[in-house]
Chains A and B, each alone.
Chain A
Amino acid sequence: MIPPERTRNFSIVAHIDHGKSTLADRLLEATHTIDPRQMTSQVLDSMDLEREKGITIKARAVRLQYEAKDGQTYALNLIDTPGHVDFTYEVSRSLQACEGAILVVDASQGIEAQTLANMHLAVEQHLVIIPVINKIDLASADPEMVLAELEETLAIPREEVILASAKEGRGIDEILEAIVKRIPPPSGEASTPLQALVFDSHYDQYKGVVAYVRVANGTLHDHERIRFMATGVETDILELGYFRPQPVPTRRLTVGEVGYVASGLKSIADARVGDTLTDADRPAAEPLPGYRQALPLVFAGIYPMRGDEYPLLRDALEKLHLNDASFVYEPESSVALGFGYRCGFLGLLHMEIVQERLEREFGLELIASAPSVEYRVKRLNRADELVVDNPAKFPPAGEVEAISEPWVSATVITPTDYIGPIMELATTRRGDFINMEYLDPKRVNLHFEMPLAELIIDFYDQLKSRSSGYASLDYAYLGYRLGELVKLDIMVSGEPVDALSLIVHRSNAFRVGKSLVEKLKELIPRQMFEVPVQAAIGSNIISRETIRAMRKNVLAKCYGGDITRKRKLLEKQKEGKQRMKRIGSVEIPQEAFLAILRMNEGQ
């Protein structure tokens, strides 16, 4: 049993792909935490999707035992965090369980947008920072430049910086020693009533909700009765333990320690992340300061391709939600797409991941509407504000007095060569330029404020393409602001197609409406009658195309008695028809919807 004085809790934070998980691998190896035969690269990225995409999605906590140069054995609790902006919230939660953070910076890329964001999170929480310049083995590595950037931008003295190559195992000993020497042991009272912060959780079929905790005060004992202070739910601990990285049961977790509590609870809502665990018999007076609930920022409708899979989708969402409480979902229905769910996500990557998990872990075929944000609508003669996350649910234009939309502050770090194109991009996306700082003579930090809705439609891709891949982006939610917004309806044969409604800025309405209408004209097969396709704001038609009526549809003769081929064509046509969605009297193939919805993503 290692005493609190010889415990160190730290997270590894960095911009995406700077090498956090690879560094974690080396630390696991150097401390013999993992059997070399079981070692794989980025071993903590255990989820299939993490391995496939090569990114960390979920933070992971592991306990290491380290024999330091001073001859003592230390317990190091490492938390590997995701680097993508959608998961910043995971990083900030992880940091609350720590006294220190290893800030990894890629030696060839230098400081990027999430480097700054994560650094600020760590400083806010008064953590000790161990700066590491990683990937010094790369031919393009320029540690000198990065040292200068760290010094100038983040006021990090160069003597504190450790040069490392996680790939080649260089600098690892130095990092381990720095963890022991520079990061303070956890403070806290072992004898006061129990307070343990729930900083993450997952759901286990047999053990129920497994809460990842950091004990702030007091001690957790196996099988004792605990209480979740925010929800008031009480339960007996089924199992107590820590990760190496597989779960290792233990008798107790004491002050400063990080581990897990298998609660047996069936609902993740009872054991919320950010809640404080206490001893049910001897409760603490106060909970620990919790977290702000992660805010879903991006919303989309998710529908099964086949209507009869709706119940499967419901079950899949329930199950997935047990392991990822950061998305929200509620049933909705659409004339065009049938029954489905409106879901809220932390960002686009999160949306993509949830959709992919639903499809691949649960074998569903899904169709998602274009991502949207949550608008607040003030109606005429009404005091209350309506919150609308689905454009189709907007009140009629005549009732709307004002619409406000979420804004974010966006940080873009880029080589100076691309300032022009990036400024232009931000301005066409209704961004306000705030300021520009030089990180070094060749790189700047641009700061904008812009509507989130503009950011979630391919802003990131555009940014990457306009900067040859060099610019990085971080953003944080600012608040709601009024906007000149209108609801754009797409109508087929005079019937609005709810799934295609969009909220757009008035100045873009015409362009967007026209391109949608043109695309639909191409995609909707000709019918036996003429079909007008229109874009409208309220009752005002801003764009119109006509799909000419099909005038004949006959199969040529059945040549030489080949009945089979023609029959199969008809059978296939019937099958296709069954998958079509009906808008009024017009049958639209699902592929047309998919193409339009995909196009929306790239508008």
Chain B
Amino acid sequence: MSLSTHHLYVHVPFCRLVCAYCDFVTVGGRGADIASYPDLLLAELAMRPASGHLATIYFGGGTPSLLPADRVARVVGAAIDRWGNAPTEVTLEANPSSRETPDWAGLRVAGVNRISLGIQSLRDAQLQMLARGQTADEGLAAYAAVRAAGFENVSIDLIYGIPGQSRADWREGLNLVLALAPEHLSLYALQLALAPDEWAAPPRPGALRWRKRMVPRQDDGLAAAQYELAEEVLDAAGFEHYELSSWARPGFESRHNSAYWERRPYTGIGAGAHSFDGRSRSWNERDLDAYMARTKAGERAMADSEQLDEPTRAFEAIALGLRRVTGLSRAAFANEFGTDPVERFAAAIGEGADLLEVDHDRIRLTTRGRLFANEALVGFAP
């Protein structure tokens, strides 16, 4: 990839039913707007500058699989026109559901070549616990349909740390998923406890009571054990653990997500989407109506932006770089910021004793450090 690669993120903020734990930008019950939303995406795309070589497109949500395949095709096509080249990776997130089955073949034709399937769990009891309106069978069926349509790069999302989910449950869940033979896996700990000030202004106020009820039923010791178990099981299955919560068969790392960790520039379109141009970050209105109204009026629905100063950029380089299991290249950092990070952050590295590992070339999190990434990273903050 040349330095001038660019990436496009497309946010699709619709879900049929909003899951209890969700803190993403999405709304439920707004099916009527889905049809008109892609036109706004196209309108925004036309307003945004397009530079470099477009390497990836990622349709995230929400539930992008609710978009009709022809609309996806138009967005992909518009991006290709805008940048003047076809991206190598086009991912679309999908949520299994028997009520609205995507036109998988149509999506392939539209240019999508990677599906990220939100299976989350293959046990109905756990899916119910999460108040996710889907069943295990729907997950299996969706996976089969994706494969049947010929997708050769499929990622599955799983959640652990669900109240009531034992280590054995988790092992079983991992094995069921491994039997499906996906190319990529993303494993997320169910994050219910919020920072103190977030309880006061939660990202999604509706489910606050649900969260409060569930937090005491979570056991972070168990979640930690589940994480360690996953590392072990997936390693044995030939997966490479390449980022804190991502595993891939060789050659199937998510290129789009890697762009975030490598701080490459990306353009985000759609409600709540974030963009980064290498120096500053900006983000769109999270509120769907505000986004739609402003975009319709012909302006970019940007909510705010921030210019990153040098210490912030350095911190981001560390915090994002350390998410990668191979860690951060000291030389690359020194090249960009002028000093060896081991020198510049001697105090934070000293404090992070058993969480960080430093060798001649790189800094990385230890196995324990991956469980305590926040503790390891906080010392680097400006």
Residues of A within 8 A of B (CB): 528, 548, 550-564, 566-567, 569-574, 577
With A561-B9, A564-B274, A573-B381 given, is the CB distance from A553 to B374 under 8 Å? yes
Assess the A570–B260 pair: CB atoms within 8 A: no
With A561-B276, A574-B381 given, is the CB distance from A551 to B220 under 8 Å? yes
Assess the B378–A558 pair: CB atoms within 8 A: no
Contacts of A573 in B (CB 8 A): 195, 374, 378, 381
- Of A553, A563, A572, A574, which contacts B260 at CB under 8 A? A563
Choose among A550, A559, A569 the residue with the greatest number of B CB atoms under 10 Å from its CB. A559
Question: What is the total number of residues of chain B having a CB less than 8 Å from a CB of chain A?
Answer: 48
B residues 230-253 near A (Cβ < 8 Å) are 244-245
Is B174 located at the chain interface by the 8 A CB criterion?
no
Assess the A554–B221 pair: CB atoms within 8 A: no
Stretch of B67-75, B185-193, B325-333, B356-364 contacting A (4+ beta carbons < 8 Å)? B185-193
Assess the A561–B374 pair: CB atoms within 8 A: no
Residue of B with least CB distance to A549: B221
Contacts of A571 in B (CB 8 A): 315, 381-382
Assess the A570–B374 pair: CB atoms within 8 A: yes
Residues of B within 8 A of A (CB): 9, 11, 24-25, 58, 60, 186, 188-189, 191, 195, 197, 220-221, 223-225, 227, 244-245, 257, 260, 266, 268, 272-276, 281, 283, 306, 312, 315-316, 319-320, 370-375, 377-379, 381-382
Sample of 7 A–B contacts (CB below 8 Å): A528-B375, A552-B227, A553-B373, A554-B373, A556-B245, A560-B272, A561-B9
With A551-B220, A571-B382 given, is the CB distance from A563 to B370 under 8 Å? no
Contacts of A551 in B (CB 8 A): 220-221, 223-225, 371
Assess the A562–B274 pair: CB atoms within 8 A: yes
Contacts of A566 in B (CB 8 A): 319
Assess the A560–B319 pair: CB atoms within 8 A: no
Residue of B with least CB distance to A573: B378
A564 to B306, CA, bound (A): 9
Contacts of B275 in A (CB 8 A): 561
9 nearest A-B residue pairs (beta carbon)? A574-B381, A551-B224, A551-B221, A552-B371, A552-B224, A553-B374, A561-B274, A554-B373, A551-B220
- Of B24, B58, B244, which contacts A554 at CB under 8 A? B244
A561 to B282, CA, bound (A): 11
Q: How far is the CB of B315 from chain A (nearest CB, A)?
A: 7
Residue of A with least CB distance to B190: A556
A551 to B58, CA, bound (A): 33
Q: How far is the CB of A567 from chain B (nearest CB, A)?
A: 6
- Of B60, B197, B244, B377, which contacts A560 at CB under 8 A? B60
With A553-B372, A553-B373, A560-B274 given, is the CB distance from A572 to B195 under 8 Å? yes
Contacts of A577 in B (CB 8 A): 378
Residue of A with least CB distance to B188: A556
With A551-B221, A570-B319 given, is the CB distance from A556 to B373 under 8 Å? no
Contacts of B224 in A (CB 8 A): 551-552
Contacts of A560 in B (CB 8 A): 9, 11, 24-25, 58, 60, 268, 272-274
Contacts of B220 in A (CB 8 A): 550-552
A551 to B189, CA, bound (A): 13
Residue of A with least CB distance to B373: A554
Assess the B378–A567 pair: CB atoms within 8 A: no
Assess the B371–A554 pair: CB atoms within 8 A: yes
A392 to B202, CA, bound (A): 41
Assess the B319–A567 pair: CB atoms within 8 A: yes
Q: How far is the CB of B220 from chain A (nearest CB, A)?
A: 5
Q: How far is the CB of A502 from chain B (nearest CB, A)?
A: 28
Assess the B268–A556 pair: CB atoms within 8 A: no
With A552-B223, A570-B381 given, is the CB distance from A528 to B272 under 8 Å? no
Residue of B with least CB distance to A589: B196
Choose among A554, A566, A574 the residue with the greatest number of B CB atoms under 10 Å from its CB. A554
Contacts of A553 in B (CB 8 A): 371-375
Contacts of A559 in B (CB 8 A): 24, 60
With A554-B373, A554-B374 given, is the CB distance from A561 to B191 under 8 Å? no
A569 to B373, CA, bound (A): 13
Assess the B60–A557 pair: CB atoms within 8 A: no
Q: How far is the CB of A505 from chain B (nearest CB, A)?
A: 36
Residue of A with least CB distance to B282: A564
Contacts of A556 in B (CB 8 A): 188-189, 191, 245
With A552-B372, A554-B244, A573-B374 given, is the CB distance from A561 to B268 under 8 Å? yes
Assess the A563–B320 pair: CB atoms within 8 A: yes
Contacts of B257 in A (CB 8 A): 557
Choose among B9, B220, B316 the residue with the greatest number of A CB atoms under 10 Å from its CB. B220
Contacts of A562 in B (CB 8 A): 274, 283
Contacts of B24 in A (CB 8 A): 559-560
Assess the B274–A570 pair: CB atoms within 8 A: no
Q: How far is the CB of A263 from chain B (nearest CB, A)?
A: 53
Residue of A with least CB distance to B369: A554
Assess the B372–A563 pair: CB atoms within 8 A: no
A577 to B24, CA, bound (A): 28
Contacts of A528 in B (CB 8 A): 372, 375
Residue of A with least CB distance to B194: A569
A288 to B315, CA, bound (A): 72
Residue of B with least CB distance to A553: B374
A553 to B376, CA, bound (A): 9
Q: How far is the CB of A305 from chain B (nearest CB, A)?
A: 18
Contacts of A554 in B (CB 8 A): 189, 244-245, 370-374
Contacts of B186 in A (CB 8 A): 557
Residue of B with least CB distance to A527: B375
Residue of A with least CB distance to B381: A574
Residue of B with least CB distance to A564: B281
Residue of B with least CB distance to A561: B274
A567 to B60, CA, bound (A): 21
Residue of B with least CB distance to A525: B196
Contacts of B9 in A (CB 8 A): 560-561
Choose among B225, B266, B372, B378 the residue with the greatest number of A CB atoms under 10 Å from its CB. B378
A567 to B306, CA, bound (A): 12
Contacts of A548 in B (CB 8 A): 221
Contacts of B272 in A (CB 8 A): 560
Q: How far is the CB of B82 from chain A (nearest CB, A)?
A: 18
Q: How far is the CB of B376 from chain A (nearest CB, A)?
A: 9
Contacts of A552 in B (CB 8 A): 189, 220, 223-224, 227, 371-372
Assess the B371–A563 pair: CB atoms within 8 A: no
Q: How far is the CB of B162 from chain A (nearest CB, A)?
A: 14
A243 to B188, CA, bound (A): 75
A97 to B299, CA, bound (A): 79
A572 to B378, CA, bound (A): 9
A439 to B211, CA, bound (A): 59
Contacts of A569 in B (CB 8 A): 195
A548 to B218, CA, bound (A): 14
Residue of A with least CB distance to B221: A551
A390 to B316, CA, bound (A): 47
Additional pairs, 13, CB under 8 Å, beyond known A551-B371, A557-B186: A550-B372, A552-B224, A553-B374, A554-B373, A554-B374, A555-B373, A560-B58, A561-B273, A562-B274, A563-B274, A570-B374, A571-B315, A571-B381
A577 to B347, CA, bound (A): 14
Contacts of B283 in A (CB 8 A): 562, 564
Contacts of A574 in B (CB 8 A): 378-379, 381
